[in-house]
């Protein structure tokens, strides 16, 4: 996202679709800049959820009655919507999970069982979210494998030469984030995947922060796994996606056992269902899947290119404003960034800033953002983070800067 392109996007019209943006917090109009944590939901998504429970609720894949058939059709149609959204080759390569964390744990468990052995190496990076660290640590501990970490520059970019040095015949998996939730850095995942493949390793991309902001094409990326969450892309919580290549998923053992994931069960032997059901034990989050599809339709309607260009403009605008504040330091200055802005101000603690501007109706995130090793890398306790979505405006950023200045006056 280096160059700002033009966009067609009517933010005032878009804001009408998000009921929560019209409420007040602490007596002030809500300014929601915590989109990196979770995004707000448009009426179109809320309507789908309501309608499902009012008119369509039924269990899927197992009823002979009309309602069940309708629910099954809708759920499978949602799968196809996701498939098209990330351009997967097959719709059974789309596994519904509970979220990015659920997706990564599925791979750590099933892929780990099949492919990871003592002495093998898994490569992650310094800027990973805890959910792309801890499952691999647990797997390494269990199997006697070794976790290797790609270091980053002062600006918050992966050191690609160091990454190349880490790759070896021992490398079984490379698991990196597409976009850093703390720094905003957009990583060169295509290059990472190519290098990893050349070394004979599998690749998982954590796309939780990428999918809401930028077009993802899994076939073009050629990754083996891609994980993301609905709630960060204007859909409901509790549902997410694991994309995996058909051939690879077919070879993996199932994750959880239960209903829906079986072909036949006897007490002697159970045979497993085909993709994607093999990885979807139990009644899934049906309404979550429908809500995710509605969110994708909503984003497609606006156009991902428009979203990306508009958010880039917001990021630039806010970055320039923050830079003018005395003592402010931006954490994460990679040239290629998504709309995440982490900062610190000399002599103040991010928590204090967050608490004061909350009283002015502004929601930002403070703390370590579930990236403690990254905070240790920069030797900081945490950051204040504003993260923008396409329903945010420059006027909101102006109000945020005024609130920030007021907070700093109180704190310094």
**How far is the C-alpha of 51 from the C-alpha of 57, rounded, in Å?**
9
Within 8 A by CB and 6+ apart from 313, the residues are 4, 7
Nearest distance from C-beta of residue 363 to other proteins, angstroms: 13
- Encode 24-43: b = buried (16+ Cβ within 10 Å), e = exposed: ebeeeebbbbbbbbbbbbbe
Tell how strand 328-331 and strand 365-367 pair up: unpaired
Nearer to other proteins, 246 or 352 (CB): 352
Closest approach of other proteins to the CB of residue 35, in Å:
18
Which phi and psi angles does 73 have, rounded to 5°?
-60, -45
DSSP letter assigned to residue 254: P
- Closest contact distance (angstroms) between CB of 406 and other proteins is 9
In the chain, what is the greatest distance between 2 CA atoms, to the nearest angstrom? Answer: 72
Binding site for other proteins (CB under 8 A): 26, 348-349, 351-352, 354-356, 359, 366-368, 381-382, 410-411
Residue 163 and residue 170 in contact, taking contact as beta carbons nearer than 8 Å: no
For other proteins, give the closer residue by CB, 209 or 366: 366
H or E element, residue 358: helix 350-358
Which one, 356 or 397, has the nearer CB to other proteins?
356
Shorter beta-carbon distance to other proteins: residue 20 or 410: 410
What is the spatial distance between Cα 325 and Cα 323, in angstroms, rounded to a whole number?
5
Other CB atoms within a 10 A radius of the CB of residue 351 amount to: 13
Pairing of strands 240-244, 94-97: antiparallel
| Nearest approach, Cβ of residue 349 and other proteins (Å) | 4
Residue closer to other proteins by CB (options 63, 381) is 381
Q: What is the DSSP letter of 284?
A: -
Measured from the Cβ of residue 272, the count of other Cβ atoms closer than 10 Å reads 17
Least distance CB 133 / other proteins (angstroms): 16
CB-wise, 204 or 356, nearer to other proteins? 356
| Catalytic pick among 166, 328, 363, 370 | 370
- Kindly state the smallest distance separating residue 410's Cβ from other proteins, in Å: 6
Whole-number Å distance between alpha carbons of 385 and 367: 9
Nearer residue to other proteins within complex by CB, 288 or 382: 382
CA dist., res. 311 & res. 301, Å (int): 16
Is residue 140 part of the annotated active site? The answer reads no
Q: Which residues of 369-389 are buried (b: 16+ CB within 10 A; e: fewer)?
A: bbbeebbebbeeebbbbbbbb
Beta-strand pair 28-29/365-367: unpaired
Q: Least CB distance from residue 178 to other proteins, whole Å?
A: 25
Return the H-helix or E-strand segment holding 177.
Answer: strand 171-177
Q: List active site positions.
A: 370
């Amino acid at each position: 996202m280096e160059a700002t392109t033009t966009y067609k996007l009517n933010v005032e019209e878009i804001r009408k679709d998000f009921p929560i943006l019209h409420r007040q917090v602490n007596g002030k109009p809500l300014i929601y800049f915590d989109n990196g944590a979770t995004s707000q939901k448009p009426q179109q998504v809320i309507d789908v959820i309501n309608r499902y429970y009012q008119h369509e609720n039924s269990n899927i894949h197992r009823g002979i009655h009309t309602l069940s058939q309708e629910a099954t059709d809708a759920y499978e149609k949602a799968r196809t919507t996701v498939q098209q959204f990330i351009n997967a080759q097959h719709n059974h390569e789309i596994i519904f999970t509970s979220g990015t964390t659920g997706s990564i744990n599925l791979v750590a468990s099933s892929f780990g069982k099949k492919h990871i052995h003592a002495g093998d190496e898994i490569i992650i990076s310094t800027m990973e979210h805890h959910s792309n660290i801890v499952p691999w640590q647990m797997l390494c501990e269990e199997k006697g494998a070794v976790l290797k970490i790609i270091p980053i520059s002062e600006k918050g970019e992966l050191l690609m030469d160091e990454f190349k040095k880490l790759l070896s015949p021992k490398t079984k998996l490379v698991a990196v984030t597409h976009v850093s939730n703390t720094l905003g850095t957009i990583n060169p995942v295509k290059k990472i995947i190519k290098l990893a493949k050349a070394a004979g390793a599998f690749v998982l991309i954590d796309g939780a922060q990428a999918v809401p902001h930028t077009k993802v094409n899994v076939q073009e990326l050629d990754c083996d796994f891609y994980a993301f969450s609905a709630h960060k892309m204007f859909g409901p919580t509790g549902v997410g996606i694991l994309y995996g290549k058909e051939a690879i998923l077919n070879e993996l053992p199932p994750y959880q056992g239960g209903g829906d994931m079986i072909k036949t069960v006897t007490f002697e032997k159970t045979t497993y269902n085909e993709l994607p059901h093999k990885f979807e034990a139990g009644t899934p989050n049906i309404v979550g899947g429908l809500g995710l599809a509605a969110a994708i339709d909503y984003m497609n309607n606006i156009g991902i290119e428009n979203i990306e260009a508009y958010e880039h403009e917001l990021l630039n605008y806010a970055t320039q404003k923050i830079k003018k504040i005395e003592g402010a330091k931006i954490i994460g200055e990679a040239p290629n960034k998504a709309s995440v802005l982490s900062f610190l101000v000399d002599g103040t603690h991010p928590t204090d800033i967050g608490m004061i501007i909350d009283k002015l109706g502004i929601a930002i995130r403070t703390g370590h953002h579930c990236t403690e090793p990254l905070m240790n890398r920069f030797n900081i306790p945490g950051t204040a983070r504003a993260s923008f979505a396409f329903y945010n405006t420059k006027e909101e950023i102006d109000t945020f800067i005024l609130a920030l200045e007021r907070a700093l006056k109180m704190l310094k």
